Amino acid sequence: RSLTVAEADGDERAVEAALRPRSLDEVVGQQRVRDQLGLVLEAARRRERCPDHVLLSGPPGLGKTTLAMIIAHEMSVPLRLTSGPAITHAGDLAAILSGLNEGDVLFIDEIHRMSRPAEEMLYMAMEDFRVDVVIGKGPGATAIPLEIPPFTLVGATTRAGLLPGPLRDRFGFTAQLEFYDPRDLDTIVHRSADLLGVELTSEGSAQIAFRSRGTPRIANRLLRRVRDYAQVRAGGVVTLAVAEAALELYEVDDLGLDRLDRGVIDVLCRRFGGGPVGVSTLAVAVGEERETVEEVAEPFLVRIGFLARTPRGRVATPAAWAHLGLTPPPGAVG
Ligand code: ADP
């Protein structure tokens, strides 16, 4: 019996959960963040207090949710999960906050997408562990103060700059997660392969690591796709040749660029002469949401030196032109 799409999706998510490191010691890479966070948690444990609120920022798939889970695990307290888009009214947040127990870790993913009134309520909750719940409307409305037990907020956002200053300032510890280097990703691929029972050679693993866009989630996903290929079309072992053939099939190029990444530089060079062009225009041209282009594709393209953000818009660099096998026109910026 073959899996339905929903089952397959559930399965993928279950696999992702199974691959998550459970303690700070198991986290690969991000040495500085690990050291700093380790200290924050140890100090809190010694003082028998909740750790300060923590803000984690960085592109998707770099380990923000994983770190939130680890914070709760290391403090031996439950983790409550929610996300900015799920909090549309201040009342939604009040309900979550009033359900917390002392010491709980509350994780709010995409915290920059919370509604304004909820954000204001959160300021107060973070600082004074109390909120005012407004009952009724207009002149008859009354604010009822509500005590909240001390808790630790862990907020995640793709870019810290998306948060209003007053919210950012209320986090006692802020960590910016960086893209991983291929060596760390190689370690992650080996670890995941062990957990999944996938046999792979060191060249096969290095190839997956190198093409994972600096992102553990992508490394794990590519490993699973390459494993499929190895099982169906090759002898089951992930060798260099198997990894290369599978990645080509899934349209991941030799630098790890996927269709969206390539689409962005392709449109930028071919249609807009290399820029500068505004990100919204670029997003329309590739048929994607502006946020996706800005928060998923761009950070990696900037990191590998293919794209530059200038005050006048996005610009393709000579390396991007070369990757597409094109020569920049004489007047091209970049
Ligand atoms: P985010 O919340 O930033 O989108 P996640 O925490 O969900 O990212 O991480 C995505 C996947 O990548 C997880 O399933 C986890 O297995 C893996 N992962 C992330 N960071 C690490 C790391 N430092 N070491 C090992 N695996 C990691």
Distances (CA, A) of 10 to 6, 16, 132, 187, 212: 6, 10, 39, 26, 22
pTM of the model: 0.90
- 20 CB near ligand 1 (under 6 Å): yes
- Tens digit of each residue's pLDDT (9 = 90 or more) over 247-291: 999 999 999 999 999 999 999 999 999 989 999 999 999 999 999
| 3-class SS of residue 174 | strand
- 299 CB near ligand 1 (under 6 Å): no
- 157 CB near ligand 1 (under 6 Å): no
Q: What is the DSSP string of 51-113?
A: PPPEEEE-STTSSHHHHHHHHHHHTT--EEEEEGGG--SHHHHHHHHHT--TT-EEEEETGGG
The mean pLDDT value of the chain amounts to 92
Q: Is 137 a catalytic residue?
A: no
ipTM: 0.98
CB count in 10 Å sphere of residue 219 = 30
Q: To test the ligand 1 pocket, which listed residue (11, 12, 13, 20) has its Cβ within 8 A of the most ligand atoms? A: 20
Q: Is 239 a catalytic residue?
A: no
* Local structure of residue 24 (DSSP, 8 states): G
Cα separation of 256 and 266, whole Å? 15
The residue written with tokens 């690990």 in the block is: 34
> Binding site membership: which residues?
19-20, 61, 64-66, 127-129, 170, 180, 217, 290, 309, 314
Phi (first) and psi of residue 26, to 5 degrees: -85, -15
2 has a pLDDT exceeding 50:
no
CB count in 10 Å sphere of residue 138 = 5
Q: What does the block give as tokens for 12? A: 């993928």
- Tens digit of each residue's pLDDT (9 = 90 or more) over 111-130: 999 999 999 999 999 999 99
Give mean pLDDT, residues 219-241: 93
| 3-class SS of residue 16 | helix
- 62 CB near ligand 1 (under 6 Å): yes
- Ligand 1 centre and the CA of 28: distance in Å? 10
Residue whose CA is at the smallest distance from ligand 1 atom 15: 20
Report whether 98 contacts 146 (CB < 8 A): yes
Distances (CA, A) of 50 to 12, 46, 172: 33, 10, 12
Enumerate the β-bridge partners of residue 56.
Answer: 156, 175
- 59 CB near ligand 1 (under 6 Å): no
| 3-class SS of residue 252 | coil
> Binding site membership for Mg(2+): which residues?
65
What is residue 198's predicted lDDT score, i.e. its pLDDT?
Answer: 92
